[in-house]
């Protein structure tokens, strides 16, 4: 009887392993990146999870594949030179696969409201220059940012008034607002990070960015000073932010 019971347990375990192969493989996120107008694959497009520090490049068919993603909600950033970046939010289960197709729109070579003599970089940063001229907030152009002391992005950002760097594991660094503290906790409130016009929330590690690719910085410490396009309602109470840091890259 005992030998039969042991054999039954072994058989049940084997059947369970066969019935649930996905859990052994982990969670997958697959898909492809194409041009919006003609659906041509965009080989070399970057697909990243900023909060996880994971990045891939699309292959010659525009395909990508992430394995072993942690369960939960994640922000995905898709970028390709010459195309408008796109962001998406996916929900990953404990096992299984999520698939997406990202269609990127090509950026027009000219914008009617910007002088035709402006460079491509000037056209991308047109709004930055307009806000800087208006004078609300703190601004650093590429030359000013490059002159700031330090070799990491967090070191150079620390010069901005009211901005405090919150250290994480290893060299991880998050942005906080030293002028605002969470009610009843006396903790520094984190600031929202916008990268090239995309809201990455409060959990973005700024040291993932090489300082050499940063061409402009905008810092709004006071909630009343935040421009309307960056002053969005948090998705949940635990995503509350104090102040906004806007980063523009090459």
Per-residue pLDDT reduced to its tens digit, 73-86: 999 999 998 888 98
Q: Which residues of 57-74 are buried (b: 16+ CB within 10 A; e: fewer)?
A: ebeeebebebeebeeeeb
CA distance 206 to 200: 11
Q: Where is pLDDT greater, at 152 or 94?
A: 152
Q: Tell me, rounded to whole angstroms, the distance of Cα 234 from its chain centroid.
A: 15
CA distance 172 to 115: 40
Q: What is the pLDDT of residue 151?
A: 93
Q: What is the pLDDT of residue 183?
A: 52
CA distance 221 to 211: 21
Interior angle at CA 146, CA 143 and CA 150, nearest 5 = 160
Q: What is the pLDDT of residue 96?
A: 83
CATH class of domain segment(s) 21-104: mainly beta
CATH class of domain segment(s) 120-249: mainly beta
Spatial contact of 123 and 99, defined as CB atoms under 8 Å apart? no
The CB density around residue 154, as the number of other CB atoms within 10 Å, is: 22
Reported as a single tens digit per residue, the pLDDT across 95-134 is 889 999 999 998 765 445 555 555 666 777 888 988 998 8
Residue 29, SS3 per DSSP:
strand
DSSP states of 111-153 as a string? -TTS-TTS-HHHHHTHHHHHHHHHT-SEEEEHHHHHHSS-SSH
Pair of tokens at residue 93: 């289960």
CA distance 102 to 46: 11
Positive/negative CA dihedral, 21, 22, 24, 28: positive
- Residues paired with residue 37 on neighbouring β-strands, in sequence order: none
Q: 72: number of CA atoms within 13 Å, CB side? A: 7
Give domain limits for the chain.
21-104, 120-249
Q: What is the pLDDT of residue 18?
A: 43
- Residues paired with residue 79 on neighbouring β-strands, in sequence order: 46
Residues of the chain with pLDDT > 70: what percent? 82
Reported as a single tens digit per residue, the pLDDT across 53-66 is 899 999 999 999 99
Reported as a single tens digit per residue, the pLDDT across 15-57 is 444 444 433 345 899 999 999 888 999 999 999 998 888 999 9
Answer whether 0.75 is exceeded by the pTM.
Answer: no
Reported as a single tens digit per residue, the pLDDT across 175-231 is 999 877 655 567 889 999 999 889 999 999 999 999 999 999 999 998 889 999 999
């Amino acid at each position: 009887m005992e030998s039969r019971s042991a054999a039954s347990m072994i058989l049940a375990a084997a059947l369970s392993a066969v019935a649930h192969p996905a859990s052994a493989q982990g969670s997958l996120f697959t898909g492809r990146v194409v041009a919006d107008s003609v659906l041509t694959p965009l080989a070399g497009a970057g697909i990243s999870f900023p909060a996880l520090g994971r990045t891939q490049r699309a292959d010659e068919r525009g395909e990508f594949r992430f394995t072993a993603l942690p369960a939960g909600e994640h922000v995905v950033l898709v970028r390709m030179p010459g195309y408008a970046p796109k962001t998406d939010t996916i929900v990953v289960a404990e096992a299984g696969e999520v698939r997406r197709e990202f269609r990127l729109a090509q950026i027009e070579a000219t914008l009617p409201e910007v002088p035709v003599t402006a460079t491509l970089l000037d056209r991308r940063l047109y709004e930055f220059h307009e806000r800087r001229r208006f004078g609300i907030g703190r601004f650093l152009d590429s030359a000013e940012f490059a002159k700031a002391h330090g070799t990491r992005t967090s070191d150079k950002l620390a010069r901005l008034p009211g901005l405090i760097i919150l250290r994480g594991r290893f060299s991880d660094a998050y942005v906080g607002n030293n002028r605002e503290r969470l009610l009843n906790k006396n903790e520094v409130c984190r600031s929202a990070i916008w990268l090239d016009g995309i809201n990455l929330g409060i959990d973005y590690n700024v040291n993932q960015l090489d300082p050499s690719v940063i061409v402009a910085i905008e810092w709004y410490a006071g909630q009343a000073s935040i421009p309307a396009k960056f002053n969005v309602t948090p998705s949940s109470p635990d995503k509350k932010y104090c102040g906004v840091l806007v980063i523009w890259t090459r």
